[in-house]
Amino acid sequence: MPKGIRELQAEVLEQDLCTGCGMCVGMCPYIKTAAERVAVIHPCGLTDGNCYRVCPRGETDMDRLARQVFGAESQDLILGTHTGLFFARATDGRVAGRGQYGGTVSALATFALDQGNLEAMVLTKGKGGYPPSPFVARSGEEVLACSGSKYSASPTMAGFHQAVREGLRCIGVVGRPCQVTAARKLEGLAAGEGVAHIPPAAPALVIGLFCFWALAPGFYRWLAEQVDPRQVGSVDIPVEGLEVRTIDGIHRWPVDAIRPFIRPTCLQCMDSTAELADVSVGSTEYDPAWNTLVVRTARGMELVEQAQRAGVIEMKPYPPERMPLLRRAVLQKKQRVVRAMAEGQAAYLRLEQAQRDQILALEVQAG
């Protein structure tokens, strides 16, 4: 059944399910964002709307999207389709030094721009103590200015529509898993599934970030009570908890201090490794100088191989002894969501009972 802005409001925004991805913002003059909240300012009346179709919390069939991206459903129910799994990092010390971990994302984004294949990369910019915002980067310097993780839900994908309005057509994006899903839904619309207004472009490169959850804007108000936000340099959330760097040094809090700020929608998300991306990048939870790099599509593999050949990134095989830890963390999140589905949660996911049972039956053997 076709759905539009009314359902976006009723099923997503009013249920606090919005991921703040930003994809519907900028497609429609009646949807706005402020302080990482998305709101409908006027119901346009369309009963079948692209705003609902691109929403990662609108009805979502991950198998169908996997067929769109990879030509087939995923054979790996835990990590999703992939052709390579590595540790990687930027070779340029300046890029690695400013990156969240090994700077792989910034190195790949810069390389893609330098190659001339892309006109811009849509990124997320901000100072650690304040909510971030979308940024359309057209040079390596601008990519570097966006380095580092901002652990809240920046509406970055709104930047894609801004770039299109500026006349660009060959645009890459870096986003959280929900944003990657939205990017792939937009790709479907641009390929002809759209209604009324067919988007004139879809992301030409999709770099996904690992993400188990993002924080609500209340986090920044809380942080401002702990430290001077103007002095916040970088923020990290390793397994031990929150780490905030200021000019005074590193301040630490247990993860329970920020748990109340986790966006409720993140607890209904089964995708922590951006399964629909061209490449996905995360931490190693082991060596902060490196990233985990998952290569998924032919386009992703081509970019990674070219970047490696050009000496922009270095790679080594993913350590087999780390594999069970990664797979277990990802599987446990999926299983939590599948169990919650029995109580009516995550109803946006089109997941047959047989698929749910299959996920619940999976186990990861110890390494």
State the Cα–Cα distance between residues 326 and 345, nearest whole angstrom.
25
- Output the CA angle 32-281-70, nearest 5 degrees: 85
Helical (H) or strand (E) element with 234:
strand 232-236
Contact call for residue 176 and ligand FAD (CB under 6 A): yes
- CB under 6 A: which stretch of 65-73, 186-194, 206-214, 311-319 binds ligand FAD? 206-214
Distances (CA, A) of 238 to 75, 141, 212, 225, 262: 30, 27, 12, 22, 15
- CB under 6 A: which stretch of 59-67, 68-76, 101-109, 222-230 binds ligand FAD? 101-109
Q: Which residues contact 13 (CB under 8 A, 6 or more apart)?
A: 38, 39, 40
Backbone φ and ψ for 14, nearest 5 degrees, come out as: -70, -20
Contact call for residue 210 and ligand FAD (CB under 6 A): yes
Contact call for residue 60 and ligand FAD (CB under 6 A): no
State the Cα–Cα distance between residues 272 and 176, nearest whole angstrom.
9
Q: Please identify which residue in 102, 155, 203, 217 interacts with ligand FAD, judged by CB under 6 A.
A: 102
Q: Please identify which residue in 60, 100, 246, 297 interacts with ligand FAD, judged by CB under 6 A.
A: 100
Q: Which residues contact 144 (CB under 8 A, 6 or more apart)?
A: 94, 95, 98, 106, 110
Contact call for residue 246 and ligand FAD (CB under 6 A): no
In 45-167 the beta strands, taken as DSSP E runs, fall at: 84-90, 120-125, 133-137
- CB under 6 A: which stretch of 10-18, 148-156, 193-201, 242-250 binds ligand FAD? 148-156
Contact call for residue 291 and ligand FAD (CB under 6 A): yes
> For ligand FAD, which is the closer residue by CB, 102 or 199?
102
Q: Please identify which residue in 52, 70, 151, 348 interacts with ligand FAD, judged by CB under 6 A.
A: 151
Contact call for residue 52 and ligand FAD (CB under 6 A): no
> For ligand FAD, which is the closer residue by CB, 107 or 164?
107
> For ligand FAD, which is the closer residue by CB, 140 or 175?
175
> For ligand FAD, which is the closer residue by CB, 12 or 313?
313
3-state helix, strand, coil in the chain (%, to 5): 35, 20, 45
State the Cα–Cα distance between residues 278 and 298, nearest whole angstrom.
8
CB 275 within 8 A of CB 177: yes
> For ligand FAD, which is the closer residue by CB, 44 or 301?
301
Contact call for residue 162 and ligand FAD (CB under 6 A): no
CB 295 within 8 A of CB 223: no
Q: Please identify which residue in 82, 150, 185, 334 interacts with ligand FAD, judged by CB under 6 A.
A: 150
Contact call for residue 283 and ligand FAD (CB under 6 A): yes
227: left (phi over 0), alpha (psi -120 to 50) or beta: beta
Contact call for residue 297 and ligand FAD (CB under 6 A): no
Residues 263-282 that bind ligand FAD (CB under 6 A): 281-282
**Residue ranges binding ligand FAD (CB under 6 A):** 99-106, 109, 123-124, 132, 146-152, 154, 156, 174-176, 209-212, 214, 281-283, 291
